[in-house]
């Protein structure tokens, strides 16, 4: 280790006064080891600090001296002593390695399926278990008990750390199975005022036939069924009743609209993220009156793990509000697109559009469509049967 710090130099010397040169080295008490002669050439190893003195003696005696320094810690530091940036980088890297080995860097959660990671991480943060917290300040046993109390749905929790990685293992509470409600006594009523076009009863008593006109809320299939023996039974009414009805929807579009158009001027602001601290890497501020922002994050990974260090970037694009006026043809295109989206989102599936009647209205401010749809669909809606004393009515099904 001392040789690594002091530095060693291998020398070779030849000349007419070679032996006198060797004696001068010995008389000067210079530490020279590994000495040997071969074909009138002297070889040996000395410390770097003695090289100037040996070189001076060789010049006095006319000796041709060659030297080569071994690669040691001191030689590397001496070679790069003028590279301040590299030295600072090494110091920072060494300091960061020591720092990150003693604090929480990553948190891994295992065993949860229904409880979100965000809820567990929020509870851990309240207990001061988060990236940047010194590991020596964490009482893992107490935190395990607190985590079960703070987060609903956890029956057991275990917290441990391997290096700077905290591992949280949880066992979730097994919920009670959901009670099936397909046997709860209920009626089926009409969800719209409609003309009945189709009936199909699976359970219960049909109250209307095809062709009847029923108001909204009218009883279609009764879950209370009486039999010839005088007994009454409660059923979970089931079936499909389809009906036709009309529905009017109004779509409108303004003649003029303010649109934000990019001007071409942009800015990019970056922040260095170190745990929860954000360090700005830009000068100045955003002086745009009207703009759009796009935010992005990038993190540094090590061995497949994401470190709490990264770069946050904000892309700012200046915009200018411009008033755009639409022609009658453009307004009609906008309204038809709104109609298409409405029918796609609300009148799809088993709903059948029989007809649509469009009433167009044009004003100085814009255009509107009053669309009357003739629709056929399943108009069944379940309503539970509530009774004060369930035992008063026998349930035969």
pLDDT one-digit tens code per residue, 273-317: 876 667 888 888 888 889 999 989 887 776 666 667 788 899 999
User: Residue 153, Cβ neighbours under 10 Å: how many?
Assistant: 17
Delineate the domains of the chain, giving CATH numbers in brackets. 2-77 (3.30.70.260), 106-172 (3.10.20.310), 186-240 (no CATH), 256-325 (no CATH)
Share of the chain above pLDDT 90, in %: 42
User: How far apart are the C-alpha atoms of 337 and 331, rounded to whole Å?
Assistant: 10
| Helices assigned H by DSSP within the chain | 2-6, 18-27, 51-61, 73-79, 84-100, 117-126, 140-150, 328-346
User: How far apart are the C-alpha atoms of 159 and 155, rounded to whole Å?
Assistant: 14
| pLDDT tens, N- to C-terminus, the chain (397 residues) | 444 446 788 889 988 888 888 888 888 888 888 888 888 888 888 888 888 888 888 888 888 888 887 665 555 555 555 556 666 767 777 777 777 778 888 888 999 888 999 999 999 999 989 888 888 888 989 999 999 999 988 999 999 988 888 899 999 988 776 655 567 889 999 999 999 999 999 999 999 999 999 999 999 999 998 877 778 888 899 999 999 999 999 999 999 999 889 999 999 998 888 766 678 888 888 888 899 999 898 877 766 666 677 888 999 999 999 999 999 999 999 999 999 999 999 998 899 999 999 999 999 999 999 999 999 999 999 999 887 655 544 444 4
User: How far apart are the C-alpha atoms of 192 and 105, rounded to whole Å?
Assistant: 59
pLDDT one-digit tens code per residue, 69-115: 766 555 555 555 555 666 676 777 777 777 777 888 888 899 988 89
């Amino acid at each position: 280790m001392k040789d690594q710090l002091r530095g060693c130099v291998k020398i070779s010397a030849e000349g007419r006064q070679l032996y006198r040169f060797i004696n001068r080295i010995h008389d000067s008490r210079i530490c020279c080891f590994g000495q040997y002669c071969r074909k009138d050439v002297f070889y040996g190893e000395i410390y770097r600090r003695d090289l100037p003195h040996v070189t001076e003696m060789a010049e006095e005696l006319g000796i041709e001296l060659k030297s080569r320094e071994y690669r040691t810690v001191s030689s590397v530091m001496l070679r790069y002593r003028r590279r301040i940036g590299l030295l600072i980088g090494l110091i920072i890297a060494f300091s960061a390695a020591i720092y990150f080995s003693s604090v929480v860097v990553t948190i891994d959660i295992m065993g949860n399926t229904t409880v979100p990671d965000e809820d567990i991480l929020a509870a851990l943060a309240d207990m001061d278990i988060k990236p940047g917290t010194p590991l020596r300040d964490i009482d893992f046993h107490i935190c395990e008990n607190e985590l079960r109390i703070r987060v609903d749905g956890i029956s057991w929790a275990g917290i441990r750390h391997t290096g700077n990685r905290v591992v949280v293992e949880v066992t979730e509470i097994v919920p009670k199975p959901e009670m099936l409600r397909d046997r709860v006594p209920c009626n089926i009523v009409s969800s719209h005022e409609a003309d009945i076009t189709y009936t199909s009863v699976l359970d219960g008593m049909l109250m209307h036939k095809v062709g009847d006109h029923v108001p909204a809320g009218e009883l279609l299939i009764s879950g209370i069924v009486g039999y010839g023996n005088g007994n009454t039974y409660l059923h979970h009414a089931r079936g499909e009743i389809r009906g036709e009805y009309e529905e009017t929807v109004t779509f409108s579009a303004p003649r003029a609209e303010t649109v934000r158009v990019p001007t071409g001027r942009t800015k990019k602001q970056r922040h260095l993220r170190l745990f929860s601290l954000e360090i700005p890497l830009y000068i100045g501020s955003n002086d745009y009156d009207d703009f759009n922002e796009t935010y992005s994050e990038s993190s540094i990974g090590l061995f497949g793990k994401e470190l709490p260090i990264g770069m946050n970037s904000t892309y700012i694009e200046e915009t200018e509000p411009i008033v755009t006026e639409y022609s009658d043809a453009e307004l009609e295109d906008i309204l038809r697109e709104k109609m298409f989206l409405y029918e796609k989102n609300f009148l799809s599936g088993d709903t059948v559009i029989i007809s649509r009647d469009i009433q167009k209205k044009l004003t100085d401010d814009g255009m509107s469509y009053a669309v009357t749809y003739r629709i056929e669909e399943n108009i069944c809606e379940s309503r539970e049967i509530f009774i004060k004393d369930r035992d008063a009515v026998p349930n035969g099904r």
